[in-house]
Each structure stands twice: as structure tokens, then as C-alpha cells.
Amino acid sequence: MPDDVAADKLAVLECLSDYCYAIDFLDCDALGDLFTEDAVLHFSLGGVGREDITVSGGTAIGDYFRDVLPQFGAAAPKHPLTNHVVRVDGTRASSRSYLATGAGLYAGEYERSATGWRLSRLTVTYFARPTRGSR
């Protein structure tokens, strides 16, 4: 692994963290810098018995959150992500992470731009809250 891959991996994870800060602290304007223009946001909700949601385009993603975030309550850290595995391949990268509550799995795809890494696709798969494993 060349040395700068470590820096890229951390930058990719910071893009993902910035996304969480934006939606958890109701800063929808910040979302514009985090997604590519043709980005796709996909919530896979079959595991919790609901219809999937797909939003296409960076501008539409900002509008989507501007619409739905108010119903999720006050600003607070609501999306703690852990267990990151990042792959970097030139100007593209991918990540997968746990939602620490156990309710979700995040899969990100990224493109490197002149100003840093941006999400080109974010797929969030939701799970019925598991019984905690004991091991």
C-alpha cells in the first residue's frame, strides 16, 4: 500500500463523517460540497419493512434532506459510524461502515475532485434492531 493511501483513506472517512455532521446538525447547505452532481443516495429499507428510497443528483439530495430532517428532531449526534473498511483506487474509493446502533450498514462510493473526495453514491441498508450479540 503506497504511503499516500493512508491519507486518502482518512480523507474519505472525513467526507463520510462530514455527511453525518451535516445531517445530524441540520446543515443542509454543507451537503452540496459532499456529493458529486450526479450522486445517488439509496436507502435500502426492506429489512425494516418499508419501501426503498432513492434520490438522484447532488442538488436533489440536499433538497431531500432539507425536507425530511426537521422530522428527525433537534441537532445531536445521531449517526455514529464505526468498523470502516476503505478501498482507494486512483481517483475512486469505496467504504463500508457500521451504524454503531446496529441498525444500519453504510456503503459509500467516492470520486476525487480538485477540492477533495466526494460521495458519488451512498447506500444505507437498514436492519431491524438486532438482539445484541453476547460475544
Which chain residues interact with a second copy by CB under 8 A?
1-7, 9-11, 13-14, 17-18, 20-21, 23-24, 43, 68, 72-86, 96, 98-105, 124, 126-128, 130-135
Contact 31, 19 (CB under 8 A): yes
Residue with smaller CB distance to a second copy, 24 or 36: 24
CB of 81 to a second copy, least distance (A): 6
Q: Which residues, other chains included, contact 79 with Cβ-Cβ below 8 Å and sequence gap of 6+?
A: 20, 23, 24, 99
CB of 46 to a second copy, least distance (A): 13
Nearest to 92 by CA among 54, 115, 119: 119
Nearest to 108 by CA among 128, 78, 81: 81
Q: How far apart are CA 95 and CA 108, in angstroms?
A: 5
CB of 38 to a second copy, least distance (A): 21
Beta partners for residue 95, in sequence order: 86, 108
Residue with smaller CB distance to a second copy, 23 or 119: 23
Grid cell at residue 77: 449526534
Residue with smaller CB distance to a second copy, 36 or 88: 88
Residue with smaller CB distance to a second copy, 77 or 90: 77
CB of 111 to a second copy, least distance (A): 17
